[in-house]
Structure 1
């Protein structure tokens, strides 16, 4: 174990058993520590593997530029790919990837928007891909990087840019968390696919479903460890709190058979915002499967939303 993390936290723990703390510490490492590979997809999505790699090959070969934030600060470096539209365009989509993914895992969405005439900016979030960071922050710190990416797009494409924010899973929650910030007027709309309502609620759900563990004392201890390591408690990481401040049109997408981020969270997020909104539940789709379940229906639904709100 990393002594710099554990020792300062062990000293004040008088009312909690060492066993509970060590369990929480290992869960924190399991959930929050970066991995430098993309974990295997679920069994129900293995059937899409060939199509997925076709999209990845396309993305590797399409003309692109590499953009970097904090290039002179190795511990804070964040990397993205900018893929211009085939014809000069003022439309740009900024795409946020999922938990333990990277920008390459969003290739299918990049191609979808490319075919719609969008430029695409696709970052690796902190703790993922080529970006720095030892730990995953579940979108809370990433949202501030995306505000800088938005400004970078405006500086490159022009003040008359029209920007769409799009994300899936953790990326969907990241878009929802950005929604409560002071966003430049060039951002016109948001699309969040299967984002969680809060990381505390998601962690508590997974503790029960995957590990058969109670919320207390594990979640408060994980939150305490996260505050020590990343500087914020898990209570702050809330899509619903941020969506309550949102003023932009937003499309929520969620699989009806999602057992990783339960579909009830989509309804929570939908109810949280008073802005113009749409909700599409893809009845038979599991987590992050809505595109793969029916790519044409997915594209049509996105285009219908954009025709209404992205003018």
Structure 2
């Protein structure tokens, strides 16, 4: 009996250590992916109070330098030319946004959706471009990202309902509104998920830039790349925590299923040197989409840098796509 215990206790201890280690690793993964960004910032303040901005990049990195300069300049424009507006989500969260309206009467709107742990500042240059091209521009602060309410990041699952709510906000204030959606990274995923919902006819088209097809696949990929760990069982444990704590599953964040139901024309964009969201997500989403669709590849672009890598190709394609639905008489000939 004593001999059996001597063998049994170390074995049980070993398995308990393994289980505890897996639990801690899964919990770390969960916090890393879904922890909110400064949820207590005041709604009328700038983002990331007390947190320094990233330093200016090395001037030799022309793409990052272009992005850095553009974001800073355009954010000043956005704050100066926008009003701040609010609405309420289906689950009672206060959602805040910038709204830049044309000085003359205009019923064309575009909603721009920022990415994971990002902020409106980082898409302000896109907003300024759309404004210059005859759109009213709504730039929401997404739930869990510091300005709008929300105590976790949902990878796009609940955000899609927030974007639909912003569409309702616009149409309630302007019944003649015609709306486009644009999103980057997690914002691109959110846009794709939104198009899978039942949307009113005044949602004319959408543009997604470097979104991931599936939150499950994306986190499995990052787990392998960053920690060289297999998905099983860490992802399964983490997803169990998410289901019990946040009432959704990473597997529910599935653009492929949403796109099968989409009737909104979509432009899909991806940089072919993207090592954060692999470029194969582009073809997977494009192939799944049941709607009218167009594809744009930027060969040298890394994640979320397509517009700064080949600005002319990016904007000529995006503008032509939007013109097709909003300004057909002005459509750019490719």
Superposition TM-score, scaled by structure 2 size: 0.83
Q: Secondary structure at the match of 1:17?
A: helix
What residue number does 2:83 align with?
Answer: 65
Unaligned ranges ≥5, structure 1: 1-12
Q: Does 1:157 align with 2:174?
A: yes
Q: Please give the residue correspondences for 1:163-174 in structure 2 after superposition, counting only pairs within 5 Å.
A: 163-174=179-190
Counterpart Cα distance in 2 of 1:150 and 1:201: 29
Describe the shift of the 1:14–1:146 C-alpha distance in structure 2 as closer, same or farther (beyond 3 A): farther
Q: CA deviation at 1:51?
A: 2.5
Contact 2:108 2:134 (C-alpha < 8 Å) held by counterparts: yes
1:136 to 150, 153, 156: 153
Q: Does 1:125 align with 2:127?
A: no
Q: Deviations over 1:57-95 (max 9, x none)?
A: 211221x22121239x9x721111111023221100011
Q: CA deviation at 1:225?
A: 1.1
Q: Secondary structure at the match of 2:303?
A: coil
What residue number does 1:86 align with?
Answer: 103
Q: Deviations over 1:145-164 (max 9, x none)?
A: 11111011011122x21100
Counterpart Cα distance in 1 of 2:116 and 2:190: 11
Unaligned ranges ≥5, structure 2: 1-14, 39-47, 329-334
Q: Secondary structure at the match of 2:180?
A: strand
Rg larger for: 2
Q: Does 1:50 align with 2:69?
A: yes
Counterpart Cα distance in 1 of 2:76 and 2:251: 40
Counterpart Cα distance in 2 of 1:60 and 1:105: 13
1:183 to 190, 199, 214: 199
Q: Does 1:97 align with 2:107?
A: no
What residue number does 2:8 align with?
Answer: none
Q: Secondary structure at the match of 1:305?
A: helix
Contact 1:86 1:117 (C-alpha < 8 Å) held by counterparts: no
Counterpart Cα distance in 1 of 2:18 and 2:174: 54
Counterpart Cα distance in 1 of 2:102 and 2:212: 31
Counterpart Cα distance in 2 of 1:150 and 1:100: 23
Question: Which deviates more, 134-143 or 51-60?
Answer: 51-60
Describe the shift of the 1:152–1:14 C-alpha distance in structure 2 as closer, same or farther (beyond 3 A): farther
Q: Secondary structure at the match of 1:175?
A: helix
Superposition TM-score, scaled by structure 1 size: 0.89
What residue number does 2:225 align with?
Answer: 209
Q: Secondary structure at the match of 2:294?
A: strand
What residue number does 1:9 align with?
Answer: none
What residue number does 2:265 align with?
Answer: 249
